[in-house]
Every structure is written in structure tokens, then in C-alpha cells.
Structure 1
Amino acid sequence: MTDYYDKLEVRDPEERERDLLAALPKQIAQAQTAAPAFAKILDGVAAADVDSRNALAKLPVTRKSELLALQQAHRAEDPFGGFSAIARGPRMLRIFASPGTIYEPEGEARDYWRTARALHAAGFRGGDLVHNSFSYHMTPAGAIMESGARALGCTVFAGGTGQTEQQIEAIADLRPAGYAGTPSFLKILLEKAAEKNIALPTLTKALVSGEAFPPSLHDWIAERGVAGTQCYATADLGLVAYETSAREGLVLDEGVIVEIVRPGTGDPVPDGEVGEIVVTTLNPDYPLIRFGTGDLSAVLPGRCPTGRTNRRIRGWLGRADQTTKVRGMFVHPGQVADIARRFAEVRRARLVVSGETGDDRMTLQLECTGDLQGLRERVAEAAREITKLRASIEFVAVGALPNDGKVIEDARSYR
């Protein structure tokens, strides 16, 4: 197949859903039996019963901050905090460190992070030379891209970060087919090459990640002869979604189950609504169940024009952790959700923090239906009980709150 990496990309969506949900109970069982941290997190859960998205949505979300805290608490006996299902030895090829510090294992599976699919969609093919400018030092970014490139049959130049002039020299000498790295560093390389009047004629495609890739930067790179596409991957999960030549959202990877939930909760939101990306990976070596990425996105309607049939997301839309300090106290998105959850009349809630430094004011904006008699007073009382702070209550029309994933908006004027 030349247009698609494999047949999985174009299978019937109902078949894909059946396959994912059939694999889900096995992954839950694997997490419970092989990863001690999830044995505790999922204590009392019958793995065989988790065979639907509704059942999955009832499980707790484990966010990165919680994973870090558990690793730190158990570091003396296990640096992975009980999340790794494999031990040091032949099945664990390498260990990486992400800021925090969070330690992540690399298993022995071919294309462990599943990035070959994203590289293929970006136009890379077996025999190509990939100039990889992701970091090879401590963090797994370089290995994430290299493992996929090697699985695709590509050769890799381990450029790493920095040393701009030496990297340009290597591109000119080795004539790679394309680039893997951050979009900002690709821009630096192209600018420096132009400044030195060095032609890079073979560099015609790129798979970028690690930071935002706005249309303006995409167009700037394209004007210099490089077709850039992006992917969304993390050190914990591997590939989550990837862009295609259509440039209409990011297609979900075949090896993950993705949910979009309301920030601060584990509650899935309707398609199209912005929320936090929560991922369950089918990787048996590092079986993360409902892992909260802290990133915001939304499901796009319809299918990719390239013919790929998996669901699509809009890409990175910001961070979900909107914890804000008000009058010296932290207010969390989960607290806003707790307030809304107490009242059946409330459909959506948004806490707006306004005022100037030293004069913080909270306004809880609510989309409501039904009888509002006495609701304002009851919500205000709940808000004070939960946050320990006073809040004004404002009713707005259903659908009036922005679809941007914000549960807490910091609108203060800092002077």
C-alpha cells in the first residue's frame, strides 16, 4: 500500500471500535496484574466488565501530576512508581527522563511509540534518510522518532538539538529526504542556510512535533520548499494523533483509545466541545489507563479527506490545568465541576476571576435549564463551601459560554 501505512487506517469505523473495545478488558487486566500502581488505582474493578466507552468513563483519570507524585513517593523501591509492567533487563531497552522528573521505560517492541504511521503520513518511505533533530539526551523525543523511522525502513541521522551550523553542513552533505524535530528549529535551520547561501534541495518534507505549528509557520516553511505535517505524541503514551496531507485536524492513532473530558473531571464531553485529552494506551509494557495529558482539544466531525476512517481531533488547543490562586487560595477546575455537579439545572459552568492585583473577584457563570428559583443562593453557598471563597453567580443563555475548554478564566488586570 502506498497511500496508507496499513489496512487499519481505512477499516470500517464500527470494526475499529469493536477491536478497540475487545482489547480494552485485556489491557485493564494487564494493568491490574503487572503494574502495581494500577492494581491500587483500579482496585475492585472487574476487567471483563470494562468493555464499553461508558464503562471506561467510570474509571478514574490518572493525570501526569499524580503519576509524578506516585513515582516520587515510591522511588526508593521502584523509580517508575509501579506504573511499568516490565523490569530492567532484556525487555526494557532504555530508560528516559522527562521534566519532573518522570522516568519512562522503553520496551523491546518494534516501533515502540508507533510513530512510523505518522512518518508515513508525512511522506517518508523506506530508504529515505531522516534528519532527526529531536533531543537524544535523557528525554525520549529522539528515540520516539528514530524508532518509527527505523520501523519504516528509513536511515536516521541523529542530529539532536543545537549546533545549527554543523547540522546544516550535515544536511548539505548527506542530502536527507526530510526532517524530524520541532518546527521552530526547522525555521532556524532554513534561515541560517539561506543566510549562508547553502542550498538544501533534498529537504522537501518534515514531521514536526513538541510545540505549536500554526498555519503562519507552516506556510513560511512551505514557501521554502518543505511540506511540513505535525503529530501529537508524548513520552508516556507515544503517538496519539497525526496530521495528513489534507491538513484538516489530526487523525487518531490506531493503538490508543482517546476521550475528551471536561477539565478537572473524568466526564466525557459531546463531540465538538473542547476538553482535556485522556488516553488509554494498548501498550502492555506501560499500560496507562485513562491518562490525563493536560492538553485541550476537541473531536472534529466527519472523516479525513485522505480516506482514513479514524476519528480526528483539532490538535493542541491549550492546557487543561487552569488552577488559579484567588485571594491567596488555589481554585481548581475540579472544584468548579463539583459545584456544577450538585445542581441538575446546571449544564455548563465557567469561573471568571477578575479585578486588579489585591482585589480578586470571582464570578461563576452558569448555563442552566429548568426552574431557577432560589438557585443563585444555593449555588453561591455551594461555591463558598467548596472553594472557601465568595463568588457572584451569573446566569447566561444556554450555548453562551465559549467552546474553548476553559473552566477557569483569569481575567485579572496585573499592574
Structure 2
Amino acid sequence: MDRSNGLYNNFEKDTPEARAERQFGNIRAVVEKAAESSGEFKSRMDAAGLAVSDITDLGSFSKIPVLRKKELISMQQEKGLDWLLTAEPGQLSRIYQSPGPIYDPEGREKDYWGWTEGFYAAGFRPGDLVQMTFSYHLTPAGLMLEQPLREIGCAVIPAGPGNTPVQMQLMTSLPVTGFVGMTSYLKVIAEKAREDGLDPRKDFKLDVAFVAAERLPESLRNEVEEAFGMKVRQGYGTADLGCIAYECLELGGMHVSSRCHVEICDPRTGEPLPMGEIGEVVVTPYTLSYPLVRFATGDLSRMVDTPCACGRTAPKLAGILGRADDTAKVKGQFVYPSQVAEVVRDFPQITRHQVVISNEGGKDLLTLKLVLGGPLDQKEFIPAFQGRIKLRPAIEILGGENDLKEDAPPLVDKRTYE
């Protein structure tokens, strides 16, 4: 199968001038639709003293205040989902729920989440049999990433997460050539295969992988590519926005998708920064049912415009370089200190707590450090934490010299990416 460089659509080779013209045309359509039907957007524009007529180019567009995820969560809870939509809920395709809790609507536009060109850039081609290991339950990842594969012409095994023996049985008994999921899980499969006396290169037919939901250190990419003799490429997006950027076969960063407008902005002011400067990723997808205009992701990155040998002319994001706020993303889930505090409040014997995230050996680990004023039933606490945060914590009970100070930060991210 020829997986060499190829473009999925002509937008990927736009000149800067053509790209800017197309971007503003799409943005104008989104702004007009949102100003007509979205209570959230109308309220934001009114508060800023702006009208649609004021948005005449990309420069004036950046004057619209950014929308943050924390605001989105509170709006959905206080105002209802309808306040943010431009269509009736029954006119949507699907409504998911992600941790927060937050609803993620999916409109009926073709390739709504916009991942198809990213999969093609990663080397997926018609005739691939692809194993999908993201969840299909409530959260959008499984279906979000299955649709573009079928659009390309691939067949999909909706395996979902976990149950590694069954995953391996599928991969070794069927001609599975593609994998979609987390790189750390591919590493788990390789390790389990060796334990069972299998050779990941000879007994599996994996050729390409599209990974997301966690950072990808080059050391981990190299380890998994070597184990299976395959190519591993990553995509960057969120459950709210869909695809933001993706890697091509040439690597060197993630090309910005043609289905959204991406800015790198000052986290304090929301104003765009010059090419090459580090700032917050702010995204406006060109979708109309659920207009998220200038949505601030909380992720830090920088843009580079070095020409790429793949032929795509879109600038690249130089990886995800940190977080602009006090949240962290672990195994595809956002961890909010406020959510952790809500769980802890139900257990008065916990006097202080701190979330510590590490990634020794390339695997993310969430440790919850606790200072106790009385006995804690971990068999009751851990399920309560997992039910709210969607992650199982490792518990570390502190005391004596290891006690937490009163001003200790609620969340510490110790991960390194070498």
C-alpha cells in the first residue's frame, strides 16, 4: 500500500493570501450565524461593545474576547446547552458528555470534527483495517475518530479501551494494519505481546498509528515504532473543537488544520502573538451548529512557518509546551483542581490534599497526596474520586516531615518530555 506523501484536499496547499481569504470567509459565516442565534456569542459581543459590522478582517476578529472552557462549563450548567447552540438539540447529530461535566454537541455537517485530512497525512489509506481503542461511551473520541477513517475508505474495529488480551487477539487473528488510540497503550500491547512469547513485528501487521489524548515524547514514539516496525503520527484536538492540528509523515510539528482558524495568543489579553512566540492556542472551528468563537484551549504552543517537504503549506504548531492555567490533561482527561476539591469535601477526614502528575517511563500517573485527621476508607474514596475525575489515583498518605504546607499548590505537573 502506497502511504507516501499525498494531500487529502487542495486547501492544504493554499498560498498565505488564499488561506487568509478563505479563513476570513469561513469566520464571517460563523460570526454571522452565532450573532443571529447564539445567546452566548451575542452576550459576549455586547459585553465587548462589538457588532458583526466591526469584524472586517482577521485583525478585527481578534478583538472578540476569548471563550474559556471553565466559562463554557458554567454556562452550560447555568444557562443550558440551548443558549450556546444555533440549532435545536434534535437537529444535531449527537450529543456527548465529557468530564467537567460538559456536553459536546455534534452537528450534521460533513466531517464535522475535521480529522479526515489528519488521518490521510498520517498515512491511512483506503483498504486499511483499523482498530479503534478510544471509548464509544458518552465521550466523543471513538465515534469522532471513526468517521474520518470510514470517509477515507478504511474499515474499523470498534474495540474501545482496555481488555488487552482481546485487543491482541483481534490484532493477530485479523489483518489489522492501523491503530488509533494512545501511544502508551501501544507500548502496553507490545510489552504484553513479548510476555506471551509473541514478536510484535512478525505476529502483528500494524503499519500506521494515529495517536492522541496525551503528549508524545520522541523516546516513546521511537520505542513503539521500533517494536512494531510501524509509523506513529499524532493529532491534536479537543472534545469541544475536534481537530486542531496533525503531524504529516515528515514530522517537524503539527500542521494547522484547514477546518479551523488557529491563533497563538497572550494568555492574559487574548491578543495574537507574532510567529514563533509561545502563547495560548485559541481556536475557531468553521462549524455552525455550536459556534465556539475564539475558544481558548489552555494549551501553550508556538507557530512555525518553515516549508515542509510534504507539500502542505499550513504553518505548524511546535508541539504542546505546557498549560496556561491550573488544569492538566492526563490520559485524555482534563483534571480540574476544583473537581478534586469537590470530591475531597465529602470526606472530612482529609485535611489537605495535592494532585501530583508524573510520567516516569513514559506512562502518566496521577498521585493524590493526602493529609488525614482520621481514618480514611480508601475502598470508598477511590471509587468516588474515579467516578468524578474519570481517573484512578495512586494514594500517598503524608505526615510528619512530608506534611503539605497550607499554601501548597493544589496541582503539580512533574511530567517531562524528552
Normalising to structure 1: TM-score of the pair?
A: 0.75
CA contact (8 A) 1:110 1:147 kept: no
In structure 2, how many angstroms separate the alpha carbons of the residues matched to 1:109 and 1:26?
14
Aligned position for 2:325: 321
- Pick from 253, 275, 281: which aligns with 1:277? 281
CA contact (8 A) 2:132 2:159 kept: yes
Structure 1 residues 59 and 166: CA distance shift in structure 2, 3 A: same
1:312 and 2:312 correspond: no
Deviations 1:61-90 (A, max 9, x none): 10000000111112xxx3x2522222232x
Deviations 1:370-402 (A, max 9, x none): xxxxxxxxxxxxxxxxxxxxxxxxxxxxxxxxx
CA contact (8 A) 1:207 1:230 kept: yes
CA contact (8 A) 1:22 1:51 kept: no
- Pick from 48, 65, 74: which aligns with 1:69? 74
In structure 2, how many angstroms separate the alpha carbons of the residues matched to 1:230 and 1:113?
16
- Deviation, structure 1 residue 131: 0.6
1:53 and 2:54 correspond: no
In structure 1, how many angstroms separate the alpha carbons of the residues matched to 2:407 and 2:85?
46
Deviations 1:312-335 (A, max 9, x none): 1112111111599xxxxxxxxxxx
Alignment of 1:259-408 (within 5 A): 259-322=263-326, 357=405
- Deviation, structure 1 residue 96: 0.5
Aligned position for 2:22: 19
In structure 2, how many angstroms separate the alpha carbons of the residues matched to 1:171 and 1:33?
49
CA contact (8 A) 2:248 2:310 kept: yes
Secondary structure in 2 matching 1:82:
helix
Alignment of 1:142-153 (within 5 A): 142-153=142-153
Letter in 2 for 1:142: G
In structure 2, how many angstroms separate the alpha carbons of the residues matched to 1:320 and 1:124?
33
CA contact (8 A) 1:112 1:147 kept: no
- Pick from 194, 204, 213: which aligns with 1:210? 213
In structure 2, how many angstroms separate the alpha carbons of the residues matched to 1:322 and 1:63?
13
Letter in 2 for 1:143: L
In structure 2, how many angstroms separate the alpha carbons of the residues matched to 1:66 and 1:22?
27
- Deviation, structure 1 residue 171: 1.0
Structure 1 residues 128 and 30: CA distance shift in structure 2, 3 A: same
Alignment of 1:186-197 (within 5 A): 186-197=186-197
In structure 2, how many angstroms separate the alpha carbons of the residues matched to 1:200 and 1:72?
49
Letter in 2 for 1:84: L
Letter in 2 for 1:214: P
Higher helix share: 2
In structure 2, how many angstroms separate the alpha carbons of the residues matched to 1:128 and 1:237?
26
In structure 1, how many angstroms separate the alpha carbons of the residues matched to 2:253 and 2:269?
25
CA contact (8 A) 1:251 1:304 kept: no
CA contact (8 A) 2:281 2:301 kept: yes
In structure 2, how many angstroms separate the alpha carbons of the residues matched to 1:359 and 1:183?
36
CA contact (8 A) 1:25 1:48 kept: no
CA contact (8 A) 2:211 2:235 kept: yes
CA contact (8 A) 1:9 1:308 kept: yes
Structure 2 segments unaligned to the other structure (5+ residues): 328-336, 338-403
The number of equivalent residue pairs is: 328
- Deviation, structure 1 residue 148: 1.0
CA contact (8 A) 1:264 1:321 kept: no
Letter in 1 for 2:173: D
Aligned position for 1:185: 185
Structure 1 residues 149 and 29: CA distance shift in structure 2, 3 A: same
In structure 1, how many angstroms separate the alpha carbons of the residues matched to 2:250 and 2:24?
28
Letter in 2 for 1:140: P
- Deviation, structure 1 residue 2: 6.7
Letter in 1 for 2:51: A
Structure 1 residues 359 and 59: CA distance shift in structure 2, 3 A: closer
**Alignment RMSD (CA, Å):** 2.3
Structure 1 segments unaligned to the other structure (5+ residues): 325-355, 361-408
Letter in 1 for 2:217: P
- Deviation, structure 1 residue 299: 0.6
In structure 2, how many angstroms separate the alpha carbons of the residues matched to 1:102 and 1:359?
30
Identify the structure with bigger relative contact order (alpha carbons < 8 Å, sequence gap 6+).
2
Q: Percent identity?
A: 39
Aligned position for 1:87: 88
Aligned position for 1:101: 101
CA contact (8 A) 2:82 2:89 kept: no
CA contact (8 A) 1:172 1:200 kept: yes
In structure 2, how many angstroms separate the alpha carbons of the residues matched to 1:292 and 1:4?
29
CA contact (8 A) 1:278 1:293 kept: yes
Secondary structure in 1 matching 2:84:
coil
Letter in 2 for 1:16: R
Aligned position for 1:141: 141
Structure of greater Rg = 1
